[in-house]
Structure 1
Amino acid sequence: MFVFDPNTISVDDWQRLGLSFKQSAAILKYLEKGGKFKKTEDLKKMYTITEKM
């Protein structure tokens, strides 16, 4: 693991955290459309991320 800002990391960084390319791309699309992560719980709201991650 590494310290990161979920609003600025790349697809490659998301994949290093264990997400698939498809999951990573969905998160970046959310951010490109103006979405923001303000707190850790916001990541759990993404349908691409499960509790197991």
Structure 2
Amino acid sequence: MRQAPSERGIDPHLHRDITELIEGLEFEHQEQERATAEVSWYKEHTLFFSLV
């Protein structure tokens, strides 16, 4: 008998991708918080780009 997706759990590749996304967003948020407190020229709408 075939199990429903919710009974099998999340696909390991999707889990890895989501985890990486969360970690990246957390890092960017921490950098924004740091820049807001420590960098005089940083404004709320300043954009940063990461090249990978």
Normalising TM by the smaller chain, what interval? 0.3 to 0.5
Q: Which has the higher helix share?
A: 2
Q: Which has the larger radius of gyration?
A: 2
Larger RCO: Structure 1 or Structure 2 (Cα < 8 Å, ≥ 6 residues apart)?
A: 1
* TM-score, scaled relative to structure 2: 0.33
* TM-score, scaled relative to structure 1: 0.33
